[in-house]
Structure 1
Amino acid sequence: MGDRCVKDLKLVKLEFVREAVKSTLVAWFEWNDKAPEALRVVYRQVESVEIEMAPAGPVQLDEIEPHDRGCRHEIQLIGGSIVAVCAHLEAKWIPQHPKSVVDDTGTTMV
């Protein structure tokens, strides 16, 4: 597996932001001390979100499919899942500090 295998990632934070009529969901994933980066996935113009959570473990499946409203992104975790339907999806690797997530403006998010 490469340096950026999603199966090594754990979900650390979900943020919901209301923007006018549509919502934005931001999911943050980090490694277990394996790399200096975090993965930020931003879902814009969210149509639906399904979240099943127990104490969630690492990512097991990451699948993006076309949908009438844009795309459908399914993330299966050990102990949970996230399924989002949205008009736009953006995934970006962000430098991180130990025990925190840093966004692309340099703001540390714990």
Structure 2
Amino acid sequence: MEYVDLDGQVGDLSGVLDPALYLSHLPSISGDLPPGAWAFATDTDHYDFSSRRCVKDLTLRAVRGAGGEEMEVEFRHNCWKHDQDLLIRYTGVSSFAVDPVDEDRGTDLGSVLLDEILPHRDGCSHEIACWGGTLTLVCRDLQATWIETICSSES
């Protein structure tokens, strides 16, 4: 990640997730991000750790259309924090990579730490850091949709 700090420092506490630099950088790239990416990146709940629509702690559930120009990435809610799943649809995908910390994990990347959306010559790049690795897509644009779900002991 270029601006989101996954290993920040607050006083004597290290390993703090800190999107502050990214959030302060967003206004300067407002004209360079496609509309859907801009809407998702600037949603007031996106980086609010206490919000039910913060991406932190979601879990990668499915990747559909890998290798194609249209892809979907679905994230599962975490019942103690979220009451919705997140579906991101990517259009005009020109690059897709899964980089697991451990090759045995495959696409099981664990829960989301944070993400970062930046301008790219093809539209935008979306890097999603998880405990077990990183998912990165480059696309023309993306559309993020929160989907109601039911939390239960089986969720």
TM-score range, shorter chain: 0.7 to 0.9
Larger radius of gyration: 2
Superposed CA RMSD: 1.9
Gaps of 5+ in 1: 101-110
Larger helix percent:
2
Find the aligned partners of 1:97 and 1:14 in 2 and give their Cα distance: 21
Residue 58 (structure 2) pairs with residue 9 (structure 1): yes
User: Any idea what the Cα deviations from partners look like across 1:62-96, whole Å, max 9, x if unmatched?
Assistant: 10000111000000111111110000111110112
Letter in 2 for 1:26: E
- Aligned sequence identity (%): 36
Q: Scaled by the length of structure 1, what TM-score is found?
A: 0.78
Mapping of 1:21-40 within 5 angstroms? 23-34=69-80, 35-40=82-87
Aligned residue-pair number: 97
Q: Scaled by the length of structure 2, what TM-score is found?
A: 0.57
Cα offset for 1:8?
1.6
| Structure 1 residue aligned with 2:136 | 83
Contact 2:128 2:135 in 1 (8 A): yes
Q: Displaced runs of 4+ in structure 1, greater than 3 A?
A: 97-100
Larger strand percent:
1
Residue 144 (structure 2) pairs with residue 95 (structure 1): no
Residue 117 (structure 2) pairs with residue 64 (structure 1): yes
